[in-house]
């Protein structure tokens, strides 16, 4: 199985700041990577697919980059609603696998 390693596990930031979350695959997955947001009491939300394509409805302050094994989710000018847990997922091959998550907390 393709192992997905996310870092950091926890990240503290303030509104207005920019943050980046890394996701590394154990082998090349081309650009077959998605990013999700998890918030308490809400259904998980797809933010980005194909490494860098914003899903409809995802604010433009979110961006994704990378291909092969190294990927990054960047959030510019954090807003209060962005404090959540973020997961990456590879879908290049079965089984699809997820990163362990990054909890973005308010500093």
Partner 1 sequence: EVQLVESGGGLVQPGRSLKLSCAASGFTFSDYNMAWVRQAPKKGLEWVATISYDGSSTYYRDSVKGRFTISRDNAKSTLYLQMDSLRSEDTATYYCARWDYYSSYVDYWGQGVMVTVSS
Q: What letter does residue 38 receive in the DSSP assignment?
A: E
Distance CA 2, CA 4 (A): 6
C-beta of 96: minimal distance to partner 1 in Å?
5
Contact 51, 67 (CB under 8 A): yes
Nearer to partner 1, 16 or 40 (CB): 40
Q: How far apart are CB 60 and partner 1 at their closest, in Å?
A: 19
CB of 27 to partner 1, least distance (A): 16
| Shortest Cβ 101–partner 1 spacing (Å) | 5
User: Smaller CB distance to partner 1: residue 3 or 18?
Assistant: 3
Residues lying near partner 1 in the complex (CB under 8 A) are found at 32, 34, 36, 42-46, 49, 55, 87, 89, 91, 94-101
Nearest to 48 by CA among 80, 71, 25: 71
DSSP string for residues in 68-104: TTEEEEEE-S--GGG-SEEEEEE-SSSSPEE---EEE
State which residue, 69 or 97, has the beta carbon closest to partner 1. Answer: 97
């Amino acid at each position: 199985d393709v192992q997905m390693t996310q870092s950091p596990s926890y990240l503290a930031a303030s509104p207005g700041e920019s943050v980046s979350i890394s996701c590394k695959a154990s082998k090349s997955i081309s650009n077959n990577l998605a990013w999700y947001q998890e918030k308490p009491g809400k259904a998980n939300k797809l933010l980005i697919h194909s490494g860098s394509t914003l899903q409809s409805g995802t604010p433009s302050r979110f961006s994704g980059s990378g291909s092969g094994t190294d990927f990054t989710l960047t959030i510019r000018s954090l807003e209060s609603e962005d404090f959540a847990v973020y997961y990456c997922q590879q879908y290049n091959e079965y089984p699809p696998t997820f990163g362990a998550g990054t909890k973005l907390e308010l500093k």
